[in-house]
Structure formats: structure tokens, C-alpha cells
Amino acid sequence: MQRYEPRGIQSSPRADASPPNNTTARPTEQQCAELDLALSELIERMETTTWSDAPGITAAEAAAWTARLVEARDAVRGATSQEEGA
């Protein structure tokens, strides 16, 4: 198992910081592939982290986060396969 090592949190814009984008543009196949890879790498790290070494984070919380990441990756893969079938 990988030892937990906290790192600085990268700042990201808040979801409500800008007006909603009402376009229906879909990500490109390349963007989906990059997102799939990034999610897969994050899932792998989540699964190999020793959560007992992370103060304030339970194994159940980590498992729930991992499940959400898997759902997101599956959604990206589903979107990609729908585009191929179109």
C-alpha cells in the first residue's frame, strides 16, 4: 500500500464562480481519452493509499470517493462509446 503524503491543494475555480455555460458541446474523443486516463490514475492512487495513515479520513469515505470516481470514468467511457455508435 502507498503511504499517504499530503500535498498542497491546487486552487480551482468554484463551480458557481461564473455564469453557467448553456452550450451542449461534447468533449472530443481525445479529451475523453485524456480524462479516462486521468481518472484511472486517480482511482489507482485512491485504491493503493493507506487511508489509516490519513488523519480525519475513514476507509468508508475513501471507498465512497473511489466509487464516485469509477462512476465518472464509466460515464466518460459511455459517452465515448455513444459517439462511436452515432
Q: What is the pLDDT of residue 63?
A: 93
CB-based contacts of 30, cutoff 8 Å, min separation 6: none
Q: What is the pLDDT of residue 69?
A: 95
Task: Give me the helices (H) in 10-85, please.
Answer: 29-48, 59-85
Whether the predicted model's global pTM rises above the 0.85 cut: no
Burial of 4-39, coded b for 16+ CB within 10 Å and e otherwise, reads: eeeeeeeeeeeeeeeeeeeeeeeeeeeebeebbeeb
Q: How far is CA 6 from the centre of its chain?
A: 18
Phi, psi of 79 (to 5 degrees): -65, -40
Phi, psi of 49 (to 5 degrees): -80, 140
pLDDT by residue, tens only, the chain of 86 residues: 555 554 544 444 444 455 555 566 777 889 989 999 999 999 999 999 998 899 999 999 999 999 999 999 999 888 777 666 65
Q: What is the pLDDT of residue 66?
A: 94
